[in-house]
Structure 1
Amino acid sequence: MRFARYLSVMLVKLAIVATLILAFIAEVLDLVDNAGDIVDAGEGVSGILLYAGLRMPILLVHAMPLGTLIGALLTLALFARNSEISAMRSAGRGVFNIYLMMLPGALVLVILHSTLIDVVAPRAQSKLAIQITQRLENRQEGMRDTKITRLRVGDDIITFDRVSDRGRRLKEVRVYDRGPDKIVTARTTAREARWRDGKWTLSGAEKISWTRDTLSQKTPADGVWTTTMTPDDVLGALSPESRISLDSARKVLAGQQTPNAPLPFYETLVERVYAMPLGLIVMVLLAMPAALLNWRDVRSTRHMAFALLAGLGFLLTDGLLTTLGLTGVVRPTIGAWSGVAAFAVIGAFRIWRIDAGWKPARRGRPPVGLPAEAGA
């Protein structure tokens, strides 16, 4: 029990350190691209620090699977170097027993990852979107922002040029009404849309209809704008790599919140909230062949290389299948879980082969003219 705690604590420490290093590297690269815009907006060093702090949670979400793999490999390598793995195997404990002793540490990492995915990252992304709107607000009023933001609300497409007041005020709004066949039937243009008392109000608005009965007929459209879009949806559209919490995704599927993407996106997202953290356990499982590392035998490094390649292959395959699920190419359950399940089987099979013993190498055939005993 004491040794299991020692293994788990070492795994958690090294995995967190590796995750932080990877996240800081990604943070530096991200600031290289965005620090200039922040400084041009007049926010200075404080604005850069605020941006870096708000971006860090989402970077940690992406870095933690690889950080867990690296942490597990380093843990096993350190124990192998101190001959602790050899002592454990001499006492009759196999690689699977070592994995079970590291499992509590992996579960701690799963809890941390789940908290980042569903609690910390969505809130940080929301505040980041507010910072972006404030940056737009601080620009000169006469300067037109050429970047157009688009989002889908139900079947309709909404675009706007500028945002202020934390998503409660939109400039140059265009609403494209679409029928069940996805064909545009009308377009509404408005100089401004403001959010007051839980509803949108359009000013300087005009609607043009393209149906057969009212082709190209223009009518004033000032007044209340009936839509399920909220300022939070506007902020979500502005935020790069926006993450949606499990609660928000469930509200969309229940029809209580505006969908900004196809429904398979939200269905896959709900599944990934559970599947993605469990991928950390799979990462530790794939790293276990590194327990065969022997610092006196260079050939044993192939076990470390196999573990590293298997972990990278899992990241690539899982990301590809998740993308297919988000876009509706495959079923959400398949996209979210198949990568985790497949590589869990691969990792378990690898451990079973290690504990069961490898097949002995085939003996070479004796040279011609020599008896079998002599060639043996």
Structure 2
Amino acid sequence: MNLDFFPSRTLTLYLAKMFAVRILAVLFLLVLVLLALDLLAATGKILEVAGNGQAEILRYAGLRLPQLIARFLPYSVLLATLITLVTLNQNSEVVAMKAAGLSAHQVLAPLLLTAAIVSLLSFGFNERVVTRANAALNGWERSGFAAIPPAPDVRANIYLTDGTNILVAASLSGRGGTLEMTGVTWYARGPGGIIREQVKSPRAVYAAPGWRLEKPVRFDVASALSTPLETLVVGKTLTPERIDLQAVDADALSFFELRGTIDAFEATGRRTSELRAKWWHRISGPLSALLMPLLGSIAAFGLARSGQLFVRAIIGMALGFAYFVVDNAALAMGNFGGYPPLLAAWAPFVLFLLVGETVLIRTEE
């Protein structure tokens, strides 16, 4: 029995190269198809804005591309695992490797090494590229594709509370006293959280104190009447300092920026479970690629040697997709406070790591 964790250098390079090429091929095909479908849905909205043309469509594709790569890289690793192992099984290469004295873990070792490198590259890509693309694209979408504000100063989908009242905005740009909101809705609520009136405005600027709504339209819930107003100041306790803490887009912040934001929230006594869960998931998310060779290994190994290769491949695919479902569910529970942040981010990874190892050891080792 060969006691080295990796097989020979030649075999390690052969398996790693085969796996890496298939990861890139599957990722290219997935991203190409999904980007084409996304462009079909978004092109009409982009071209509705006067002055937009091919350059804006290409700009949208450039901003959307990093998001698709980051989201579907783990799926690509899973599919590449199945393709690689099925190919090795069909060509009896797995049988030859085991006959040479290699264990199941040694056969998978080059794939695990490649997946670990992919995880590291994914983390760096997310931090340096995806967060910036998220900030720019979210701001552009919220402005109706009319213009692209500077990425660091734009935050999308803003939800602010002023006592029992709520201020919602499609986008927020600027810093300090130069803050500006677009697509603003103000909800004035009474006892028990009942909405008394709703005010909509296309734009709001900081009035020191409060926020001045331009061309607001007030809707009174009791009388069901809409009244246009010249101007209206709301949210007098919503200072720029408070908004800098409240209006946080975690997906647009880097790993260390998000850590600093969490510390600032905790210093003011604010709830941080959602942000902390996302912060932990910045690490566990890219590491999901490391699980895929283990979960898909049933396509190459198994007790039954009846030739049911397709069935074993389906089982491996089901295990991989089950991980993504459980991971998303756990993260959602962490965002709502149902799970502690650390548990929400890491429990699915540890669970499926144990499941994959158990299946592999009990069937092959």
TM norm structure 2: 0.74
How many angstroms apart in 2 are the aligned matches of 1:45 and 1:220?
A: 40
- Give the drift of 1:265: 1.0
- Give the drift of 1:38: 0.3
Change (3 A) 1:56 1:313: same
Asked whether 1:50 is paired with 2:59, we answer: yes
Change (3 A) 1:16 1:334: same
1:195, 1:231 within 8 Å by CA — same for their partners in 2? no
- Paired AA for residue 239 in structure 2: T
Asked whether 1:27 is paired with 2:35, we answer: yes
Deviations 1:42-82 (A, max 9, x none): 31222111111101111112211111011111111222233
Change (3 A) 1:276 1:253: same
After TM superposition, the structure 1 = structure 2 runs for residues 1-376 of structure 1, keeping only pairs within 5 Å, are 1-42=9-50, 43-132=52-141, 135=144, 137=146, 150-152=158-160, 157-160=166-169, 168-170=179-181, 193-194=204-205, 202-203=211-212, 226-228=239-241, 236=249, 242-255=251-264, 263-292=272-301, 298-356=307-365
1:76, 1:291 within 8 Å by CA — same for their partners in 2? yes
- Give the drift of 1:2: 2.4
Deviations 1:306-339 (A, max 9, x none): 2111111111111111111122111111111111
- Paired AA for residue 290 in structure 1: A
Aligned residues: 326
2:206, 2:212 within 8 Å by CA — same for their partners in 1? no
Change (3 A) 1:201 1:320: closer
- Give the drift of 1:137: 4.7
The worse-fitting range, judged by mean Cα deviation, of 339-348 and 169-178 is 169-178
Deviations 1:80-108 (A, max 9, x none): 23332221111011211111122221111
How many angstroms apart in 2 are the aligned matches of 1:188 and 1:24?
A: 43
1:162, 1:171 within 8 Å by CA — same for their partners in 2? yes
TM norm structure 1: 0.72
How many angstroms apart in 1 are the aligned matches of 2:299 and 2:85?
A: 6
2:143, 2:171 within 8 Å by CA — same for their partners in 1? no
- Paired AA for residue 338 in structure 1: A
How many angstroms apart in 2 are the aligned matches of 1:39 and 1:346?
A: 49
How many angstroms apart in 1 are the aligned matches of 2:357 and 2:253?
A: 33
Change (3 A) 1:258 1:151: farther
- Give the drift of 1:183: 9.8
2:181, 2:203 within 8 Å by CA — same for their partners in 1? yes
Change (3 A) 1:4 1:225: same
Deviations 1:199-223 (A, max 9, x none): 99855799xxxxxxxxxxxx97899
How many angstroms apart in 2 are the aligned matches of 1:83 and 1:287?
A: 17
- Give the drift of 1:300: 3.5
1:203, 1:222 within 8 Å by CA — same for their partners in 2? no
Match of residue 210 from structure 1: none
Q: Which has the larger radius of gyration?
A: 1
- Paired AA for residue 226 in structure 1: T
Aligned to 2:130, the other structure's residue is in SS state helix
1:150, 1:157 within 8 Å by CA — same for their partners in 2? no
- Paired AA for residue 7 in structure 1: L
Change (3 A) 1:104 1:201: same
Structure 2 gaps of 5+ residues are 1-8, 148-155, 217-231
- Paired AA for residue 335 in structure 1: A
1:193, 1:200 within 8 Å by CA — same for their partners in 2? no
Aligned to 1:28, the other structure's residue is in SS state helix
- Paired AA for residue 40 in structure 1: E
- Paired AA for residue 55 in structure 1: R
Structure 1 gaps of 5+ residues are 139-147, 207-218, 357-376
- Give the drift of 1:158: 2.6
- Give the drift of 1:123: 0.3
2:180, 2:204 within 8 Å by CA — same for their partners in 1? yes
Determine what percentage of the aligned residue pairs are the same residue. 21
Match of residue 144 from structure 1: none
